[in-house]
Structure 1
Amino acid sequence: MGFGTLALICLVALLGPILSLPRWLHLPVVIGELLVGILLGQTGFGVVHADDPTFAFLAEVGFALVMFVAGTHLPLRDPALRAGLPRGLTRAVGVGLLAVPVAWLVAEFFGTGHAALYAVLLASSSAAIVLPVLNGTPLTGPAMVELLPQLAVADAACVVALPLAIDPAHVGRALVGALVVIAGAVVLWLVLRWFVRSGREERIRHLSHERSLALELRASLTILFTLAALAVAGHVSVMLAGFAAGMALSAVGEPRRVAKQLFAVTEGFFAPIFFVWLGASLDLRQLADHPSAIVLGIVLGLAAVAVHGAMVVTAQPWPAAVITAAQLGVPTAAAALGTTLGLLRVGEATALLLGALVTITATAIVAGRVEALAVATAPSPTGD
């Protein structure tokens, strides 16, 4: 992989932001980046090769950063999270329990033997998809207050569960590795909390700003890559390391300046590389020989929408229930891990991403209704 290839990836990855410009579509930027990867990879012209070591490593760095930013998106310090926790937690657990038999039926029908993986996929939610879609929408009404913790719990639980579900043969090793990474994240959170409360964080932030040293960004990347090294040593995905580090940072309060810097580094460079690599690693020609993979993807997507939508029985408004089915990080991680480890069947990785696209389509369809619901139920400024 040379600078010419890197420049080409960055150039054509502009398609992602271009496709996301029409706000009424509510399309995530990554959709365009995946399409670019498919076009340039083994499905298309074969210009980029997913098995290139440099390309693959840069993609893994991008993967860790994508999950890091996703973890920081969880509103862990938002008072609404605590207010709506009982119902949000109950619904997240309800979705998880309902996902198990549905996933078993899907795995049995298609004969893949991946019931545990499908259960995690069906139960997952993506705060990184839903919160940007709801950007600017009041989150103070009852439906929104209960939506936030449901997203947070489902997101975090499924990220932790995925490494265990995707490779059951090594579940013991994965569990130990996951516990080490989580313990590292807890220690990190304690250190960061002490650092903030002692006033040292504020002094360093001012110094960094005055002298343009970007110390917070350097520290954030050091933290992320340290946890990623623990994850690799423990034979678990850097996905967990990135998400855990992001949650630790979110729990103590991520400074806006750091958030902007991380967003720029991730979305401007490393995330496009990861999603282009992921698209390049997929061979859609396989779907012609295995049309059942297309059906599997559609079924997984519709099943996720149905499982989350079933929470209307708990008095959750149906648009809010459907939008919690939005998923991207977990199925993307499953496709990337499954492809790298050779654990998925032919066309199955593409099916997982297709299922995610179905849930994103459903999210785009109901986003307007969720916004209207949030506005209608938000308390008035006068408290009336």
Structure 2
Amino acid sequence: MAGPLLTAVPGLRIPVIVGELLAGMIIGKTGFGIVDSANSTFTLLADIGFALVMFVVGTHVPVRDTALRAGIPRAVARAALVGAVAAVFGVVLAHGFGTGHAALYAVLMASSSAAVALPIIDEFALTGPPVLSVKAQIAIADAASIVLLPLVIDPSRAPRAALGAVAIAACACVLFVVLRHFERKGTRKRVQKYSKQHELAMELRFSLLMLFSLAAVATSTHVSIMLAGFALGLVVNGIGEPHRLARQLLGITEGFFGPLFFVWLGASLQVRELGERPAFIALGVALGVGAVLVHCVGRVFGQPVPLGVMAAAQLGVPVAAATLGTQLGLLSAGEPSALILGALITIVATTVAGVVLKRRQTEAPAR
């Protein structure tokens, strides 16, 4: 409940996930240690929540919108330019802080989080071609960074991670073909009618079965389950997500598994390490501010600066980087928390940008 309660504070417009992360920090490693984030059951439920969050995010990307498809070329160009500038920033930060993680920092700063940015865009009811174009840019950057992260954080496992990403993509393509066939044959509608008559929630069952199957492929090939969830969300969205299924998914995700994941994430962080290594506080701030700055280069293509800031939102990639880096012993003490600190800065910046864009959108008709 910490997320909704904090969001309800008038005038602040704090994203729900910030409250959930703070709650996790209070009851986890940083705070009173009431819960153990390493507990296998807690971790399993959090993984389900992460997969569901990315699934729902994928279903919200308007892949069937012709206006969005028309903006893909410019979105790709902006994402590529952001990546090039982020590479330069990554080298500077890695040299300045002596970590040697230039490629990792570049991917982090170039990444976007559909899980953060798209809900904020929907919450503020932002519309128009530039908004559709930035949605495409966010989706492209999100997917690319998910694929690139395992390659840059541990190059020795890069071939296996690349094969895992290819396997997920191949499975998603097969599911798309199969589901489209059943859609055209009218099978889905017959199943939906039968399910509604007998109150079986068959569409939800099938969706979860596909999600967990893809997540199993991702886990066995050492690819983040966020890629599995996002890929399936795009598939279901491309076919046409039924409204009943959308409500069911939203209920189980936003009502329990999504908040549980963010609480788990907050509980797994050891923010106290930043106090022991003050330099990493500066690193976190530099990563957050750097991400915002590199995404603003979209202005070269005529993109409004607030939309560029919204594209800088991070979450899944820094989380995966912090998790993998800790598990594999690739990051120094305090560095994982610095990555999350940078992500939180981008979330705050995205929220502020959303407020600015909403105000502009509201004032435009009056003029």
Closer/same/farther in 2, CA of residues 309 and 139 from structure 1, 3 Å limit: same
Is the counterpart of residue 261 in structure 1 residue 248 in structure 2? yes
Deviation at 1:344, TM superposition (A): 2.0
Whole-angstrom distance in 1 between the partners of 2:29 and 2:129: 48
2:20 corresponds in structure 1 to: 33
- Residue 124 of structure 2 contacts residue 355 of structure 2 at CA under 8 Å; is this kept in 1? no
2:94 corresponds in structure 1 to: 107
Residue 300 (structure 2) aligned to one of 313, 317, 339:
313
The 5-angstrom pairing of residues 80-119 of structure 1 reads: 80-119=67-106
Give 5+ residue unaligned stretches, structure 2.
Answer: none
Deviation at 1:346, TM superposition (A): 0.9
Is the counterpart of residue 68 in structure 1 residue 55 in structure 2? yes
- Residue 83 of structure 1 contacts residue 145 of structure 1 at CA under 8 Å; is this kept in 2? no
Instruction: Using structure 2 for the length normalisation, give the TM-score.
Output: 0.93
Deviation at 1:28, TM superposition (A): 2.1
- Residue 142 of structure 1 contacts residue 377 of structure 1 at CA under 8 Å; is this kept in 2? no
Give 5+ residue unaligned stretches, structure 1.
Answer: 1-13, 379-384
Whole-angstrom distance in 1 between the partners of 2:344 and 2:87: 21
Instruction: Using structure 1 for the length normalisation, give the TM-score.
Output: 0.89
Deviation at 1:97, TM superposition (A): 1.6
2:215 corresponds in structure 1 to: 228
Whole-angstrom distance in 2 between the partners of 1:120 and 1:255: 35
Deviation at 1:148, TM superposition (A): 2.3
- Residue 57 of structure 2 contacts residue 118 of structure 2 at CA under 8 Å; is this kept in 1? no
Is the counterpart of residue 162 in structure 1 residue 153 in structure 2? no
- 3-state SS in 2 of match to 1:345: coil
2:140 corresponds in structure 1 to: 153
1:381 corresponds in structure 2 to: none
- Residue 325 of structure 1 contacts residue 363 of structure 1 at CA under 8 Å; is this kept in 2? yes
Deviation at 1:340, TM superposition (A): 3.3
Whole-angstrom distance in 2 between the partners of 1:79 and 1:206: 30
Is the counterpart of residue 129 in structure 1 residue 116 in structure 2? yes
- Residue 48 of structure 1 contacts residue 280 of structure 1 at CA under 8 Å; is this kept in 2? yes
Whole-angstrom distance in 1 between the partners of 2:234 and 2:97: 36
Deviations 1:223-248 (A, max 9, x none): 01111111122122222212211121
1:10 corresponds in structure 2 to: none
Residue 333 (structure 1) aligned to one of 320, 336, 351:
320
Deviations 1:168-227 (A, max 9, x none): 221111111111111111111111111212211112112222221111110111001111
Residue 35 (structure 2) aligned to one of 38, 48, 53:
48
The residue identity in structure 2 corresponding to 1:329 is G
Deviations 1:2-33 (A, max 9, x none): xxxxxxxxxxxx10111122474332211111
Closer/same/farther in 2, CA of residues 142 and 56 from structure 1, 3 Å limit: closer
The 5-angstrom pairing of residues 275-290 of structure 1 reads: 275-290=262-277
Deviation at 1:273, TM superposition (A): 2.2
Deviation at 1:120, TM superposition (A): 1.5
1:16 corresponds in structure 2 to: 3
Deviation at 1:86, TM superposition (A): 2.0
Deviation at 1:135, TM superposition (A): 2.2
Aligned Cα root-mean-square deviation (Å): 1.9
1:349 corresponds in structure 2 to: 336
Is the counterpart of residue 185 in structure 1 residue 172 in structure 2? yes
- Residue 117 of structure 1 contacts residue 162 of structure 1 at CA under 8 Å; is this kept in 2? yes
1:207 corresponds in structure 2 to: 194
- 3-state SS in 2 of match to 1:112: coil
2:355 corresponds in structure 1 to: 368
- Identity, in percent, stands at 53
Aligned length: 365
- Residue 37 of structure 1 contacts residue 278 of structure 1 at CA under 8 Å; is this kept in 2? yes
- Residue 75 of structure 2 contacts residue 137 of structure 2 at CA under 8 Å; is this kept in 1? yes
The 5-angstrom pairing of residues 296-311 of structure 1 reads: 296-311=283-298
Whole-angstrom distance in 1 between the partners of 2:175 and 2:256: 26
- 3-state SS in 1 of match to 2:61: coil
